[in-house]
């Protein structure tokens, strides 16, 4: 995985990664107010981190 967004120190902050499988991985706070299917999770990241990821992807 390659980190493309989220410029903070440490491991417990919002980040966005690309993978070798042409997909995106998002690290953020677990959202428990919405039920997700078994084996999946919803995470919340600041809009600024998402926008940084979009810029890094050249979109």
pLDDT tens for each residue of 13-53: 899 999 999 899 999 999 999 999 999 999 999 999 999 99
Predicted pLDDT at 8: 78
Please name which of 55, 39, 47 lies closest in space to residue 14, comparing C-alpha atoms: 47
**What pLDDT is recorded for position 13?**
86
Q: Which of 21, 18, 15 is nearest to 43 (CA)?
A: 15
Angle at 1 between CA 5 and CA 40, to 5 degrees: 85
Q: What is the pLDDT of residue 11?
A: 74
Domain that holds residue 48: 2-56
Contacts of 13 (CB under 8 A, 6+ apart): 6, 27
pLDDT at 12: 76
What is the structure's pLDDT at 26? 94
Residue bearing the bigger pLDDT, 9 or 24: 24
- Total tally of structural domains belonging to the chain: 1
Element (H, E) at 49: helix 47-56
């Amino acid at each position: 995985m390659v980190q493309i967004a989220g410029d903070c120190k440490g491991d417990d902050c919002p980040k966005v990664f690309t993978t070798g499988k042409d997909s995106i991985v998002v690290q953020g706070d677990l959202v428990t107010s919405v039920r997700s299917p078994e084996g999946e999770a919803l995470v919340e990241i600041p809009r600024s981190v998402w926008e940084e990821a979009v810029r890094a992807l050249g979109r």
